[in-house]
């Protein structure tokens, strides 16, 4: 693949599964650094700060720095700050979202917010659902970090940010602005951080419904790696479901390195 201005690399399913590195992920990142190809780690995960994400990668042996991480929380906070600098926000979320909103200059409030911004929130209750839906019905703009309905965990799957967002939407009757993949906001924010146009970027991921769809919507080229959710067996199903086609398909990270010429 020629003229790569930068890579936007998914994490879970692409570089690791939970706490286990996918074979070749460390070699890929080291090779990109040696070749001087810019990249960012781009994740829908809204709970972790960039420092947390980088530490998680490093613990598995994948070299990473916080400034190389772009999360849906960062993109959501910057989206709100871009629309309304210094806006008041009510947060239903965890450390990554709280820190991102503060660093974007937003004012965190518990009454009469201009925005309700929601990510994964493992302290979510009926009371928080009732309050959030009242705020949204009352005119607060509803921003959802990412639409993931389910998340993997050591005990099996658990509800994701999208499941909580669906409850708020049902209770308020108002859909959110969705920031994370498969929407384009997260991808275009990551390209802005890299100082490149979306057309210069290549999105690398394992999920046709999120990674590849988001890249296509943002106007990026895409590379699907068959290291996670999408496999040879279900690829045709995902093609029909999404209506998108990756620019390249790689069986594993070793083949990805050959495709990128690193």
Cβ neighbours of residue 101 under 8 Å, at least 6 residues apart?
73, 77, 80, 89, 91, 108, 117
121 flagged as catalytic: no
Q: How many CB atoms lie within 10 A of CB 143?
A: 22
Check if 233 is active-site: no
Q: What is the DSSP letter of 12?
A: B
Cβ–Cβ under 8 Å, residues 116 and 177: no
List 10, 121, 206, 211, catalytic entry = 10
Q: Which of 12, 121, 148, 211 is catalytic?
A: 12
Q: Rounded distance, CA 174 to CA 232, Å?
A: 38
Using CA atoms, how far apart are residues 235 and 210, in angstroms rounded to an integer?
14
DSSP string covering 193-261: HHT--GGGEEEEES-IIIIIHHHHHHT-EEEEETTSS--TTTHHHHHHHH----SEEESSHHHHHHHHT
H or E element in which residue 190 lies: helix 185-194
Number of H helices, E strands in the chain: 10, 15
CB atoms within 10 A of CB 38: 17
Is cis: bond before 182, omega within 30 of 0?
Answer: yes
Q: Which residues are catalytic?
A: 10, 12
């Amino acid at each position: 693949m020629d003229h790569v201005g930068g890579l936007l690399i998914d994490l879970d399913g692409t570089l690791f599964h939970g706490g286990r590195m996918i074979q070749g992920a460390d070699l890929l990142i080291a090779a990109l650094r040696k070749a001087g190809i810019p990249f960012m780690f781009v994740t829908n995960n809204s709970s972790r700060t960039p420092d947390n994400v980088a530490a998680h990668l490093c613990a598995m042996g994948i070299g990473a720095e916080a400034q190389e991480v772009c999360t849906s929380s960062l993109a959501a906070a910057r989206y709100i700050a871009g629309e309304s600098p210094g806006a008041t926000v009510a947060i239903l979320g965890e450390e990554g979202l709280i820190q991102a909103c503060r660093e974007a200059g937003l004012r965190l409030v518990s009454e009469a917010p201009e925005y309700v911004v929601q990510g994964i929130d493992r302290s979510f209750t009926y009371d928080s659902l009732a309050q959030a839906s009242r705020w949204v019905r009352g005119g607060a703009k509803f921003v959802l970090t990412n639409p993931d309905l389910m998340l993997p965990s050591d005990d099996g799957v658990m509800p994701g940010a999208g499941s909580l967002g669906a409850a708020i939407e049902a209770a308020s009757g108002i859909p959110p602005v969705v920031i994370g993949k498969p929407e384009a906001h997260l991808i275009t924010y990551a390209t802005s951080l890299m100082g490149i146009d979306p057309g210069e970027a290549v999105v690398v991921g394992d999920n046709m419904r999120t990674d590849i769809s988001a890249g296509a919507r943002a106007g990026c080229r895409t590379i699907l790696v068959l290291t996670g959710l999408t496999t040879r067996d279900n690829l045709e199903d995902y093609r029909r479901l999404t209506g998108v086609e990756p620019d390249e398909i790689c069986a594993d990270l070793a083949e990805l390195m050959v495709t990128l010429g690193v």
